[in-house]
Amino acid sequence: MIDIKFLRENPEAVKENIRKKFQEQKLPLVDEVIALDAEVRAAQQEADDIRAKRNKISKEIGALMAQGKKEEAEAKKAEVAAGAARLSELEEKENDLREKIKKDMMTIPNIIDPSVPIGKDDTENVEIQKYGDPVVPDFEIPYHTEIMERFHGIDMDAAGRVAGNGFYYLMGDIARLHSAVISYARDFMINRGFTYCVPPFMIRSAVVDGVMSFAEMDAMMYKIEGEDLYLIGTSEHSMIGKFIDTIIPEEQLPHTLTSYSPCFRKEKGAHGIEERGVYRIHQFEKQEMIVVCKPEESPMWFDKLWQNTVDLFRSMDIPVRTIECCSGDLADLKVKSYDVEAWSPRQKKYFEVGSCSNLGDAQARRLRIRVNGADGKYFAHTLNNTVVAPPRMLIAFLENNLQADGSVRIPEVLHPYMGGMTEIR
């Protein structure tokens, strides 16, 4: 959510930003907010005048009563009562107008960074850099669920009977590998100075409204029936929510946290053949990283965050690349975003395994996360990035470490987490 003062003073810049995101249907919201804001300020001014007049008349009533001028005092009281009725009307009007403004402001997209490439959708995202040499072996690589089934490591049929489509049982060495990757990712981030955290797996609607757009919420979140609680789609939601309604001393920044959680997502829409198996599912586990920092430091932290994911995957010998999301592919709260994609030797292309985002002060403004600095209070900047999200990451892992004889090589960094195993047979 952008600053209403900025919108008021720079309406054309806000409209141009909307055009860059190819959301022309939202252009009328800018003029609507300006008109509503003018009404609010006019109502507020009238209310302030009534309050000032009421205070003045109250003193006059006291003086008239002291002088025994009861009739004149009663006339003044009637004047105060009339003002009170009007004041009540104005206060109700103010509240209604502010709610309308808030709804519009939460729909208007955040101002994107000038470096973001302009494009309509993810087909116009821009490759930044590749890390590691993508290899296509001279033997056939089966679909990832087939690889898992060879090790008796997955049962989607039983999961379908228990919970429906989009769920799975992981078993044996595949389940152990899944947990090993999560544990390794946890320690990897701790060694980079991040504080480990296990957050709540449910959040209230006030936090949901603060961390994501309405469109994202509808597409992702599962609501708990009869309660003001939602299952988290990523631990970023809980982690940023941790700071709701707080004033952070500037000297305590940055807060750098890495969190583990299960994640629950509706995953609406049609899925292609390459998104079968465990690629796009309703429940998975993830290691996440978030940063709350001073505004001037958020570009630096953005670069550190996506680099962490690249380094983690490269430590497991998985080739990756970074992709910058174009303007039309950015969620409304995001200022700038990179996807990290892993190489799939079976598909002979890269696919997304993580997403790094700088949200500027959008989430902080919605959640009222402020910093107490030397020159006064200001809104913090928030960033988040996927460390690793198995089981999707397992697809990249199994394909890139599959050997010609059907065994799966275990990279050295995972040996301690797999009980010393060097391969799965």
Q: Which amino acid is at 179?
A: S
pLDDT at 268: 60
- Give the Cα separation of 366 and 371 in Å (integer): 14
Residue 269's φ and ψ, nearest 5 degrees, are 105, 165
203 burial via Cβ count (<10 Å: 0-12, 13-18, 19+): buried
The CATH number of whichever domain residue 250 belongs to comes to 3.30.930.10
The CATH number of whichever domain residue 54 belongs to comes to 1.10.287.40
Q: 50, 70, 105 — which closes off a domain?
A: 105
Q: 74, 105, 136 — which closes off a domain?
A: 105
Is 13 a member of any domain?
yes
DSSP result, 247-271: EEEGGGPPEEEEEEEEEE----S--
- Give the Cα separation of 67 and 225 in Å (integer): 65
**Any long-range contacts for 280-284 (C-beta under 8 Å, 24+ apart)?**
280/166, 281/166, 281/167, 281/168, 281/391, 282/163, 282/166, 282/167, 283/166, 283/167, 284/389, 284/390, 284/391, 284/392
Residue 51's φ and ψ, nearest 5 degrees, are -65, -40
Assess whether 238 and 99 both reside in one domain.
no
For tokens 């292609």, what's the residue?
Answer: 272
Beta bridge partners of 409: 423
This prediction's pTM: 0.88
Q: Is the previous residue joined to 391 through a cis bond, with omega within 30 degrees of 0?
A: yes
Which tokens hold the place of 110?
């955040």
Assess whether 289 and 165 both reside in one domain.
yes
Q: 53, 76, 105 — which closes off a domain?
A: 105
Looking at 156-294, which runs of residues are DSSP E strands?
169-170, 195-197, 202-203, 222-223, 230-231, 246-249, 255-264, 283-293
Which tokens hold the place of 178?
């899944």
Mutual orientation of helices 392-401 and 172-190 as an angle, nearest 10°?
Answer: 100
Assess whether 64 and 177 both reside in one domain.
no
Assess whether 129 and 99 both reside in one domain.
no
82 burial via Cβ count (<10 Å: 0-12, 13-18, 19+): exposed
Q: Which of 34, 163, 172 is nearest to 100 (CA)?
A: 34
Is 112 a member of any domain?
no
pLDDT at 275: 56
Q: Which of 87, 11, 96 is nearest to 49 (CA)?
A: 87
- Give the Cα separation of 21 and 178 in Å (integer): 37
Q: Which amino acid is at 365?
A: R
Assess whether 215 and 345 both reside in one domain.
yes
Number of domains in the chain: 2
Is 116 a member of any domain?
no
Which tokens hold the place of 252?
């305590």
Averaged pLDDT, groups of 10, the chain, 425 residues long: 92 97 96 95 89 79 74 74 81 91 93 96 96 94 94 94 92 96 97 97 94 77 94 94 97 97 79 65 94 98 97 96 97 96 96 95 96 95 96 92 96 97 95
Looking at 84-234, which runs of residues are DSSP E strands?
126-131, 154-155, 169-170, 195-197, 202-203, 222-223, 230-231
pLDDT at 270: 45
325 touches 358 (CB < 8 A): no
Structural domain containing residue 44: 4-105
Is 396 a member of any domain?
yes
Is 115 a member of any domain?
no
Beta bridge partners of 257: 195, 290
Assess whether 342 and 408 both reside in one domain.
yes
